[in-house]
A and B are shown apart, each in its own frame.
Chain A
Amino acid sequence: MSDGMSVAATATHVEHVGHEKLGFVRTYIFSTDHKMIGRQFLFLGLFMMILGGLMALMIRWELAWPETQVPGTRWIPEPFMTDGYMNPAFYNQLFTMHATIMIFFVVMPILVGCFGNFLIPLMIGTRDMAFPFLNMLSFWVGAVSGVVMLAGFFVPGGHAAGGWTSYAPLTAVTQYTGVNWGQNIWCISLILLGISSLMGSINYITTIVNMRAPGMTFFRLPLVIWSLFIVAILLLLALPVLTSALAMLLLDRMAGTSFFLPAGGGEPLLWQHLFWFFGHPEVYVLILPAMGIASDILSVFSRKPIFGYRAMAFSMIGIAFLSWVVWGHHMFQSGMNPALGTSFMISTMVIAVPSAIKTFNWLGTLWGGSIRFTTPMLNSLAFVSMFVIGGLSGIYMASTPVDIFIHDTYYIVAHIHYVVFGGSVFGIFAAIYYWFPKMFGRTMNETLGKIHFWPTFIAFNCTFFPMHILGIGGHMRRIYNPMQYEFLQPLQPVNVFITVSAIGLGFAQIPFVINFFWSLFAGKKAEQNPWKANTLEWVAPSPPPHGNFEAIPVVYRGPYEYSSPEVTEDYLPQDRQLARRHAVAAH
């Protein structure tokens, strides 16, 4: 605690926080402390990321060397694998579960569950969430949902195999996929996860609206808090739609209703409308927190205020509103009325504008800065550049005629991975490296961090950029053996290159795992404010005790006052009270 501390200076009065010793179970398992719940979500997400990643590698092996033995899989029994040869039905289960796990059990728990929980009370300057018990319940329902999801692999017929979008009627009738309980379990698990997210989002919204520290106005909130606030609202409104759709699908499967079955008077496209009405806001749930994280980190390591703070906040609000009217762009070729296609094309083109605004403001933040290339900064820069590619490739799909060709091809796969891996996952890495000292009281190793970053960045691009080429070549998604098609055979070397890169990308994560666990137990003890940052979490000790702050800080300014002429150092924490300056003597 050697750096400039301002805790005492701003304390108006010292509150006494209950510090009764809690047992092991209440501290580490059924904890109501937002920081412990945040850590729990982090471990859940990282564990699931390993599973999702291994599934991706099996998918890639199959695509590069179709119908050959997948190394190291001979232990997987029938009917999934036959002596290491993958069965087509299992291939479908793998890509379904890869996407389901990565979206619902990796990116959401880490970005929203972990960083939402950990950062909101600390950054707005309060002691905990509004509803700590609900918060604990949110994690444990989420964890149960994860266990239920994984259990789907162990039921007869195997796991859900209809893609993460689970289009009916394929998923509504058992005989179409041969999957019975796997699909039911998929629905039940996501309903549980929806309940978990609802509890979380109610908590986030209530906390941010009501519990900000004195002086913390909305326009003094860090952008990461803005992003989490907006995400909580999106989740609150979008998840009930998914839950309803899942309940209808379950009823179609188990109770003989026909919501999605034309034979009984139902409509297959209804599922798509409901799913994407949830699904498109969901995409922004995955990317907005990463945008907020990158905004904060870029400002800290450029030692410069964020460029266009209000434009940044308003563009996120704009994205939030527009995200409700773009869902139909997933359905241009679905048989929906072409005039609707036109409307959704226009709304989709419009939603690209706030993303462009954000990108230019990030560049503006770098301009004239004093840039430090720390590991969190490198990952944030990777976020910006990869998000630019992912955003620009979205314009191709927005244009309805071009979408006729690239819909359901690898072009879409490339796009979503640039947004969700290039965007969200680099955002996750940036956030872990940046807040690790606050979370665990120790600092991650910078050298290992860079050994992790550079190979990941290169292997990521070698893996996902060539998927654009596959898409332009017409390579369909979700096929098990591209060599079955004459027009795809010349593209096969690209598939091999992608798979080799993907394996490299997998290996590139080893330094991260080593760094994470080594630092957890043996990393350098973290200072209270190792990055010399302004926001309130750095006012609390590392790691913050139960109750976070010795005294609730008072906020005097926005979060990005770096290199301010008012002070000699290049940062000015939100809670530091400057002596009232006498009017400059008029001569």
Chain B
Amino acid sequence: MMSWLPENVSTYGKDIDRLFYLIYYITGATFLLVAVAMVAFLILYRHREGRRARYTHGNTTLEIIWTIVPAVILVVLSFMSQATWGNIKSRMPPADVHVQVTAKQFNWEVTYPGPDGKLGTEDDLEMENEVHVPVDKVVLVHLKSKDVIHSFFLPNFRLKQDAVPGREIQAWFQATKPGRYELPCAELCGFGHSGMRGWVHVHPADEYDKWVKEHWPSA
């Protein structure tokens, strides 16, 4: 089932996938255990004439075991998740490239800082629905919205971040493989929500430099 995951092309994506697989194995094993026990009980203890059900109200030792075992597994899972969560959300690496993405009904407005490397200056470059970034560099996305809540979703990068009007939210990724990747909006944003999508173009270093030379007004 997990083979349906889109190809991962970001650095932290593999950490997310590892957790995803781990939970898949834990929950899969738990489900099998419960299902096998249930089916076995249903067959073994089906009604037969002359056999009386066992008269018991429970077992305290069992209660303690099946409280503590799931609790321990879940706490360990929380700690493992926290390590990855912190790396993605709290301890962001220093950015190599900045891009501002402003969501609006029903487009992604992409702003590049231009030659001066600063956003919000005259030499900024604006594009619609196209994000061009270099491979193997940390890209910091400054996420904004002009109207309603949208969600910046890069399935191949395992990145999803809501864009909320009234604030700037930062999200980052580091692509590991050049290519062209789809960028849908994942939060309902109105009648044009379906079909609101852009593309992220990940370029090899030389190709990215060429793209910058072509598009950014030279200072």
Contact = CB atoms under 8 A, between A and B. Distances in A.
Contacts of B89: 338, 341, 400
B186 A268 contact: no
B88 interface: yes
Interface string A289-320: 00000000000001111111111000000000
Interface in B11-40: 15-16, 19-20, 23-24, 26-27, 30-31, 34-35, 37-38
A381 B38 contact: yes
Contact of A269 (B5, B74, B164): B164
Contact of B151 (A178, A333, A346, A491): A333
Given A268-B165, A335-B164, A396 B20 contact: yes
Interface residues of B, number: 84
Interface string A349-360: 110110011011
Interface in A485-511: 485-487, 491
The CB with the most chain A CB atoms within 10 A, among B151, B162, B186, is that of: B162
B136 interface: no
Top 10 nearest A-B pairs by Cβ distance?
A262-B166, A368-B54, A338-B89, A474-B155, A480-B194, A308-B58, A479-B194, A392-B27, A349-B74, A170-B148
A37 B163 CA distance: 46
Interface in A455-490: 468-469, 472-474, 476-481, 484-487
Given A366-B41, A399-B23, A352 B70 contact: yes
25 contacts: A88-B191, A88-B192, A167-B187, A170-B188, A170-B190, A177-B191, A266-B166, A305-B55, A307-B59, A335-B162, A345-B85, A357-B66, A357-B67, A369-B45, A370-B48, A370-B53, A371-B45, A384-B38, A385-B35, A400-B82, A401-B81, A404-B158, A474-B5, A485-B197, A487-B156
B219 interface: no
Nearest to A90: B191
A361 interface: yes
Nearest to B15: A401
Contacts of B159: 404
A468 B1 CA distance: 9
Given A350-B74, A409-B186, A366 B194 contact: no
A353 B67 contact: yes
Nearest to A178: B191
Given A404-B88, A472-B4, A480-B194, A399 B59 contact: no
B74 A395 contact: yes
A373 interface: yes
B55 A564 contact: yes
A402 B14 CA distance: 11
Nearest to A355: B70
Contact of A369 (B1, B53, B81, B194): B53
Interface string B136-147: 000000000001
B51 A401 contact: no
A479 B38 CA distance: 38
B165 A262 contact: yes
B85 A400 contact: yes
A266 B164 CA distance: 12
Interface of B: 1-2, 4-6, 15-16, 19-20, 23-24, 26-27, 30-31, 34-35, 37-38, 41-42, 45-48, 51-59, 62-63, 66-67, 70-71, 74-75, 77-78, 81-82, 84-86, 88-90, 105, 147-149, 151, 153, 155-156, 158-162, 164-167, 169, 182, 184-195, 197
Interface of A: 87-89, 91-92, 161-163, 167, 169-170, 176-178, 262-263, 266-269, 302-311, 333-335, 338-339, 341-342, 345-346, 349-350, 352-353, 356-357, 359-361, 363-364, 366-373, 381, 384-385, 388-389, 392-393, 395-396, 399-402, 404-405, 407-409, 468-469, 472-474, 476-481, 484-487, 491, 560, 562-565, 570
A interface: dominant SS: helix
A118 B149 CA distance: 43
A359 B164 CA distance: 39
A384 B184 CA distance: 36
A370 B160 contact: no
A370 B188 CA distance: 50
Contacts of B166: 262-263, 266-268
Given A304-B56, A363-B38, A477-B188, 11 more contacts: A176-B105, A176-B147, A307-B58, A309-B57, A369-B53, A369-B54, A370-B48, A396-B27, A401-B81, A404-B160, A405-B20
